[in-house]
Amino acid sequence: MIVDILRYIFVERLSLNEAALLMGMSGEQLKDRLRIMEQMGYLRKTEADVSHGCGSCSSCTVCPTGDMSSEQYMLTDKGSRLIEKE
């Protein structure tokens, strides 16, 4: 399930609502799983107004945001390695 969540959000670039719908869970259930994945080191929460060095935040899709909140997540190296294995 971790790989599916990471793939939906970071590879297919679905919103959190879309990913939750595809996985047959509520948005709150998905947010709970994201918190657990953050604790496990697969994701890192960023501030909503974070500005990355590339300077393209206004048009960038690297940090997916959900319609459910202003939380943004970044994939960690551990999360990237997991997706690459699949």
Q: How far apart are the first and last CA of the chain?
A: 12
- pLDDT attached to residue 49: 54
pTM recorded for the entire structure: 0.71
- pLDDT attached to residue 36: 96
Over the stretch 43-69, which tens digit does the pLDDT of each residue have? 998 865 544 455 444 444 554 444 444
Radius of gyration (C-alpha) of the chain in whole angstroms: 12
**How many CB atoms within 10 Å of residue 40?**
12
